[in-house]
Amino acid sequence: MKKAAIIGMGVISPIHIAAIQGNPQITLAAVCDTEESKRSDAPSGVPFYTDYKAMITEVQPDVVHICLPHYLHVPVSEAAAEMGVHVFCEKPVALNAKEGREFVEFEASHPDIHMGICLQNRLNESVEMLKSLIDGGEYGAVTGIRGTVPWYREKGYYEVQPWRGRWDTAGGGCMINQSVHTLDLLYHLGGEIRELKAVTAQLLDYGIEVEDTAAARLTFASGAQGVFLATIAGYKNESVQISVQMEKADFLIMDNTLYRIGPDGTKEKLCEDAMLPGTKFYYGASHKKMIDSFYDALEKNSQDYLHIRDALMSIRLIDAIQESGRSGKIVTL
């Protein structure tokens, strides 16, 4: 039986709480938030702390789940690891590539500490099947890939949590907040990205520092071409789409379902993601799968989980898109 604790009782913490409480091999030993008002959000009978170091010292959990604003992911993860506790950190892995590389170096210097990152969409059933089809080679090589995130966030989204609109606390806008999973899947499915050219913009008059819209043309090391489009300036949250063209077939993930596209444009349903009742439609149910797999790796003392180093490319891509958007030039990765 492993003891878990949560640091940060924001909007994502209920997903972690449900996953922990749904696993009979894990006990939720404590939760923590600097805001005393969050005490009422703690599950019944679970101790609440406002100081995470005091919580770790007193409760001695096996794992802490980092569910904090972006700028606290690395320092709190490292502090917990230095106290001998395993870490399961929400996305993004860091504010930028420089901080991400330092985090990877920290991970390497603490080989006895498991440090996992929650890019759970890799474990969606649709993504797992598509990855298997790509790796199996039956349909040939990937020749093109597209990822789109057409969402909407009202101005109040930034007003209620001002850190979301600042470079120094969020690290970016629609890419690092809403689209990091999609960027992660583009290279997870398409392979190494060689270079890109991009534009970034603010289409909304929200008075924030960071981008609300981004577009990029990607060139993969394999020669495949890719397109990434993301915005929170839409009129509602629509389905994320990932389209993959292979030499012998086309595939599309839309509405949490994987389709094979026929020559005449007809869609053949191959599989559908499991969904978590009562949550946002785009969350899916793979938080639980990834959390369960992390604890399984702990139990077996294996390295079979998503490491900090595995998430570095998603932040490198965001940095490169920002750089290209500022310069108007091609950026080599």
Q: Work out the average pLDDT over 279-285.
A: 60
Is the predicted pLDDT of residue 278 greater than 70, yes or no?
Answer: no
The two structure tokens encoding residue 286 = 């793979």
pLDDT in tens, 146-191: 999 999 999 999 999 999 999 999 999 999 999 999 999 999 999 9
Question: pTM for this structure?
Answer: 0.95
CATH code of 122-281+312-332, in short, is: 3.30.360.10
**C-alpha distances out from residue 102 to 81, 189, 307, 314, Å:** 14, 26, 14, 15
Architecture of the domain made up of 2-120+290-307: 3-Layer(aba) Sandwich (3.40)
82 Cα distance to chain centroid: 24
Distance CA 91, CA 69 (A): 10
Q: Are 146 and 243 in contact (CB under 8 A)?
A: yes
Q: Which two tokens stand for residue 321?
A: 């898109």
Domain ranges of the chain: 2-120+290-307, 122-281+312-332
Quote the CA–CA distance of 245 and 140 in Å, as a whole number: 10
Which tokens in the block code for residue 327? 């310069």
- What is the distance between the alpha carbons of residues 227 and 243, in angstroms, rounded to a whole number? 10
Dihedral, CA of residue 115, residue 121, residue 124 and residue 129, to nearest 10: -100
Residues whose CB falls within 8 Å of the CB of residue 128, separated by 6 or more in sequence, listed in order: 122
For the segment 19-64, what is each residue's pLDDT rounded down to a tens digit?
Answer: 999 999 999 999 999 999 999 999 999 999 999 999 999 999 999 9
